[in-house]
């Protein structure tokens, strides 16, 4: 099975900071990578699919990138409402549809 | 609006069985693959199972394979997860979610709590 390794597991940054989260796939998955945001006590929401396509309604400060099997989620200017845990998920129609371990983002 | 409403869940003893349901509304349920995802207390998301739109293909995560069965009734717009031989480590919030083709799980149920405890 393909493993998805997310880093860091948590981070603390100031409002306005640029924040980057990384997700590494153990094998190639092309662009089949989705990023989710889960706020405390809420269900997850899609932020980005296809590694870099912003889901409808998601603020433009969120962006996704890919270099080989390394994927990034970047928040260009961290806002208080971005406090959440972020997950990547492989989505290439080959089971299992594995999630990364999650990255908890807090405000410093 | 497009939504998934879950029911079922509860407290069950180790080795027991339980079924959770997920009712879909305001979209073409039979056009979408459907997933179950779970989240143990204080832990991350774990993918559990998927069923194809027609209900003729299923896949499971290794931790539940052979114990859980995902099924659907397209005439009733309902998704099911039958859980058997439950273990303490199956304690989690279980979510149903709609597969929006290659764009991820775009609609989620509200979650159903399953507690396995003696």
- Tell me, what's the pLDDT at A95? 87
Q: What's chain A's average pLDDT? A: 96
3-state secondary structure B27-61: CCHHHCCEEEEEECCCCCEEEEEEECCCCCCEEEC
- Judge whether A104 is closer than 8 Å to chain B, CB to CB: no
Q: Which one of B36, B58, B98, B104 makes the best mutation probe of the A interface by having the most chain A beta carbons within 10 Å? A: B104
Q: Average the pLDDT over A46-72 and give the result.
A: 97
- Our CA-based measurement puts residue B47 at a distance from the nearest CA of chain A, in whole angstroms, of 6
pLDDT by residue (tens digit) across A17-38?
A: 999 999 999 999 999 999 999 9
- Whether A35 and A105 have beta carbons less than 8 Å apart is answered as no
Q: Do A97 and B47 make contact, defined as CB atoms within 8 angstroms?
A: yes
A-facing residues of B in 17-76 (CB < 8 A) are: 35, 37, 44-47, 50, 59-62
Of A93 and A105, which is predicted with more confidence? Answer: A105
Of B83 and B103, which is predicted with more confidence? Answer: B83
- Whether A95 and B57 have beta carbons less than 8 Å apart is answered as no
């Amino acid at each position: 099975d393909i493993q998805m390794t997310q880093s860091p597991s948590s981070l603390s940054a100031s409002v306005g900071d640029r924040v980057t989260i990384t997700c590494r796939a153990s094998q190639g998955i092309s662009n089949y990578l989705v990023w989710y945001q889960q706020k405390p006590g809420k269900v997850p929401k899609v932020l980005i699919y296809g590694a870099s396509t912003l889901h409808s309604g998601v603020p433009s400060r969120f962006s996704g990138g890919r270099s080989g099997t390394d994927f990034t989620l970047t928040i260009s200017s961290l806002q208080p409402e971005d406090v959440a845990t972020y997950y990547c998920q492989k989505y290439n129609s080959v089971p299992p549809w594995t999630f990364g371990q999650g990255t908890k983002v807090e405000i410093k | 609006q497009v939504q998934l409403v879950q029911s079922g869940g509860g407290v069950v003893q180790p080795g027991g069985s339980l079924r959770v349901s997920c009712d879909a509304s305001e979209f073409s349920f039979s056009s979408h693959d459907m997933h179950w995802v779970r989240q143990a207390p204080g832990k991350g998301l774990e993918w559990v199972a998927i069923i194809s739109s027609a209900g003729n293909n299923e896949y499971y995560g290794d931790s539940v394979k052979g114990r859980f069965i995902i099924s659907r009734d397209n005439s009733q717009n309902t998704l099911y997860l039958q859980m058997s031989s439950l273990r303490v480590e199956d304690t989690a919030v279980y979510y149903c979610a709609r597969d929006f083709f290659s764009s991820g799980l775009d609609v989620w149920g509200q979650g159903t709590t399953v507690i396995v405890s003696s």
